Amino acid sequence: METVLVVEDDRVYARTTTNWLVKNGINARYVLSVDSAKVFLEGHKVDLLLSDFRLNDSNGVELLEWMKAQGYRMPFLIMTGYGDIPGAVEAVKRGAADYLPKPIQTEKVLGIIRGLLNRRNRKKVKERAFYVGKSPLAVKLQNIVRVVAPADSLSVLIRGASGTGKEYVARQVHALSGRADAPFIAVDCGVLPKELAASELFGHVKGAFTGATEHKTGMFAAANRGTLFLDEVGNLNAEVQRSLLRALQEKRYRPVGGREEMQTDIRLVAATNENLEKAIAEGRFREDLFHRLNEFPLHVPLLAECPEDIIPLAEFMLDAANRELERNVKGFDREAQKRLKAYPWPGNVRQLKNITEQISIIETNREITAAILQTYLPAQNTQRLPALFGTRESKSFESEREILYSVLFDMRQEVAELKKMVHNMMAERAGQVGQMGQVVATPVVTTTHQPSVPAIIHAVQQPSVCPKEDDDDIQDTEEYVEETLSLDEVEKEMIRKALERHHGKRKSAAKDLNISERTLYRKIKEYELD
């Protein structure tokens, strides 16, 4: 049951008000001073505070300011006499929900209190959708989120490794802010086409560029009065960075091709797993934009750094998967829990979520043992991708897909280098034949290595480099020319497999591919995968 705390230095009036609330079905308690209120708040759960404006040791405004500083966000009502109304109005300006002229024992006031409590309950339902961490690092992060979330004029920069749940934290910031009832718009900057990024964010007018056949509303307009989340913000190009900085500073932006500026009221939350300081030093990211985004930094720890959360988080995600997929997996037995804690989780929270969803789909109506769990855990310390030989400059990758593409490109380059080496050897031996009049056998190069994505080769007849009279003595050779590997085909296949893996559920497939649903819909239409 919800609890209302009455702060009133007049004992008789405090008791009368408390009894009136109790008789109307509201659990209420009272204290007689600000100091007593602080002690009560630290030891009890309170859903609404009803305070007199004038108190012996302080006043209601000072109590409100202390609560805000300590992170308490329950509704705050001011009781006031006729002469204190200007002070009560000032309290409302500072964050109080309303002021109530004494005496407050009326049906109107009762309706106000019940309305505020119902609104808070609806907000609590939203908050319960989020996992509450138990490890020291997770608890610290959650406490910081509760403090910064209501300050919705501040931009937040969330940093952490891939898969740690940065968007999850961003949604918590939104849910605990005053913008919780407004839209939360998430944009994956890693998949935004560079030439269309400005259009996606700010919109465009008809005729702004080739293909702009109608007006388009951008993400800034869609997120107005709410929260705009820019994931992998380090991928934005220089032009968009400049426009973004101006939009944040001036709270105005101009659609692509437009002449009129649009006003915006958003709370920006950005996230990245990239070293932005290094990007600034290399000239890839604006330093002024970095400082504008980094008004309040948050760091999301690795899952391996929060061992106390592995088991409860796995159970939380399994319950969520059971509800979503209408399954009834019983949970993890003791040995399976030990195996979960022992696993290093290189993919962090995202990997744990994927595994719990797979278990929920397949292992219906039974408890998960260690043996069953082991079939879902990838082998440790194994390379699933082809090894790259030779000394190459180390690279940092933003996603698994970039790793795959890099491997394919490097493999193609290695094949081309091998082909060039063979041709040089053939030319040298052919030259020896022309000079010495001797027949040299053409070397035959074979390889047993087959790439994970097969290359298509064609045999092309090559004219002989030797004189005509020696044609009978020299074996014709064939040059193998590799066709360009199609990244579109690779992407199409990845999307097709993700849709099959998630039984056509596009939301889950998009999360698996680490792209937005909007991008996935566009790709499905482009590749005719409907």
Burial of residue 479, with CB atoms counted within 10 A of its CB: 0-12 exposed, 13-18 middle, 19 or more buried: middle
48 shares its domain with 71: yes
Statement to judge: residues 162 and 285 lie in one domain: yes
**Averaged pLDDT for residues 484-499:** 73
Question: Between residues 130 and 479, which one has the greater pLDDT?
Answer: 130
Q: Are residues 146 and 293 in the same domain?
A: yes
Per DSSP, which regions of 67-180 are E strands? 76-80, 98-101, 156-159
In a domain, 395, yes or no: no
Residue at 433 is within a domain: yes
**Count of domains in the chain?**
5
Structure tokens at 442: 């053409």
Same domain, 14 and 105: yes
Provide the pLDDT confidence category of residue 270 given band limits of 50, 70 and 90: very high
| CA–CA distance, 10 with 216 (Å, rounded to integer) | 60
pLDDT tens-digit series, residues 28-50: 999 999 999 999 988 888 889 99
More confident residue, 59 or 371: 371
Size of the chain, expressed as the number of residues it contains: 530
- For the domain that residue 505 is a member of, what is the CATH number? 1.10.10
- Residue 108's H or E segment, with its range, is helix 107-127
Strands 331-332, 367-368: pairing kind: parallel
Query: Which of residues 299, 316, 349 is at a domain's end?
Result: 299
Strand pairing of 478-482 and 457-461? antiparallel
The per-residue pLDDT for range 120-162, each reduced to its tens digit, is: 766 555 444 678 888 999 999 999 999 999 998 899 999 999 9
Closest CA to 408 of 514, 347, 488: 488
Is 380 part of any domain? no
User: 410: pLDDT confidence band, cut at 50, 70 and 90?
Assistant: low
Q: Tell me how far apart the alpha carbons of residues 96 and 73 are, in angstroms, rounded to a whole number.
A: 10
Q: What is the pLDDT of residue 428?
A: 64
Is 202 within 8 Å of 175 (Cβ atoms)? no
Query: DSSP readout, 206-219?
Result: TTSSTT--S-B--H
Phi/psi of residue 240, each to 5°? Answer: -70, -35
453 pLDDT more than 50: no
**Mean pLDDT of the 300-323 span:** 93
Average pLDDT estimate for 74-95: 80
Residue span of the structural domain in which 427 resides: 400-482
CATH of the domain at 288: 3.40.50.300
What is the pLDDT averaged over residues 502-516?
A: 82
pTM of the model: 0.52
Residues 236, 360: one domain? no
Residue that terminates a domain, selected from 77, 106, 126: 126
- The verdict on 100 and 35 lying in the same domain is yes
HSE of 222 in the Cβ direction (CA atoms, 13 Å)?
15
CATH number for 313: 1.10.8.60
Q: Is residue 390 part of a domain?
A: no
Residues 6+ apart with CB under 8 A from 271: 157, 158, 159, 160, 166, 167, 170, 229, 230, 231, 232, 233
The amino acid that residue 444 corresponds to is V
**Domain end residue (candidates: 252, 270, 299):** 299
**What is the model's pLDDT at position 310?**
95
Q: Is 507 a member of any domain?
A: yes
Asked, for residue 63, whether it belongs to a domain, the answer is: yes
What is the predicted pLDDT for the residue at 477? 37
Which amino acid, 515?
Answer: I
Mean residue pLDDT across the chain: 80
Residue 382: inside a domain: no
Q: How confident is the model at residue 396 (pLDDT cuts 50, 70, 90)?
A: very low
Residues 59, 144, single domain; the answer is no
Q: Do 361 and 261 share a structural domain?
A: no
- pLDDT the model gives residue 432: 52
pLDDT of residue 94: 80
Do residue 221 and residue 271 come from a single domain? yes
| Per-residue DSSP letter, 387 | P
Q: Select the more confidently predicted residue: 280 or 208.
A: 280
- For residue 319, being part of any structural domain is answered with yes
Is the domain of 85 the same as that of 64? yes
- What SS3 state is found at 341? helix
- Quote the pLDDT of residue 395: 42
Alpha-carbon gap, residue 232 to 235, rounded angstroms = 6
Q: Which residues contact 27 (CB under 8 A, 6 or more apart)?
A: 1, 2, 3, 4, 21
454-472 tens-digit pLDDT: 333 333 344 444 444 444 4
- Buried-state track 140-168, b at ≥16 Cβ within 10 A, e below 16: ebbebbebbbbebeebbbbbbebbbbbbe
What's the pLDDT tens digit per position in 324-363? 888 889 899 999 999 999 999 999 999 999 999 999 999 8
pLDDT band, very low/low/confident/very high, at 211 (cuts 50, 70, 90): confident
Among 116, 106, 118, which Cα is nearest to 49's? 116
Checking if the pLDDT of 386 tops 50, the result is: no
32 lies in the same domain as 117: yes
| Cα angle value 20/24/30 (rounded, 5°) | 45
User: Would you give the distance in Å from CA 4 to the centre of its chain?
Assistant: 36
Residue 172 — φ and ψ, nearest 5°?
Answer: -65, -45
The Cα–Cα gap between 47 and 51 comes to 13
3-class state of residue 307 by DSSP: helix
Are both 175 and 273 inside the same structural domain? yes
Task: With a cut of 90, say whether residue 86 has pLDDT above it.
Answer: no
pLDDT confidence tier of residue 57, bands split at 50, 70 and 90: confident
DSSP states of 474-510: S---EEEEEPPP-HHHHHHHHHHHHHHHTTT-HHHHH
State the average pLDDT over residues 186-190.
Answer: 90
